[in-house]
């Protein structure tokens, strides 16, 4: 396998693994939320406080953050974006070095006169 194809394969494998974890996280959240409700209401474990709502809300927040990271952030801040940013920064550094070299050259020519 060529290096470029290997890199594409590894990136695709990583993305599939991330998505798989989000789906598993959702299923686990759904099942555990149901069990929290059962424990709180049917088994009468501190039923007056409705603590299960707080647990579900906190877990939902964590799930939403996980979902955003995988499906929103990773969709536009990916390998291509990273390579573009590196290319831009290298080009900017090269331009700055050229400017400094020209400035240094101009200072050398004016000081020798």
Q: How confident is the model at residue 112 (pLDDT cuts 50, 70, 90)?
A: low
Query: What is the pTM for the complete model shown?
Result: 0.67
Cα(79)–Cα(8) distance, rounded to whole angstroms? 9
Q: Is 52 exposed, middle or buried (0-12, 13-18, 19+ CB in 10 A)?
A: buried
State percent of the chain over pLDDT 70: 96
Quick check: 50 and 40 in contact, CB under 8 A?
yes
Q: What residue ranges do the domains of the chain occupy?
A: 1-76, 78-113
């Amino acid at each position: 396998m060529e290096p470029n194809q290997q890199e594409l394969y590894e990136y695709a494998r990583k993305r599939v693994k991330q998505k798989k974890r989000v789906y598993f996280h959702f299923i686990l959240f759904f099942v555990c939320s149901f069990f929290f409700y059962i424990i709180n209401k049917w088994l009468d474990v501190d039923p007056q406080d409705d603590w299960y709502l707080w647990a579900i809300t906190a877990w939902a927040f964590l799930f939403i953050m996980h979902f955003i990271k995988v499906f929103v952030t990773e969709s536009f801040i990916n390998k291509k974006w990273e390579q573009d940013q590196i290319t831009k920064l290298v080009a900017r550094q090269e331009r700055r070095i050229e400017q400094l070299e020209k400035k240094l050259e101009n200072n050398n020519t004016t000081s020798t006169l």
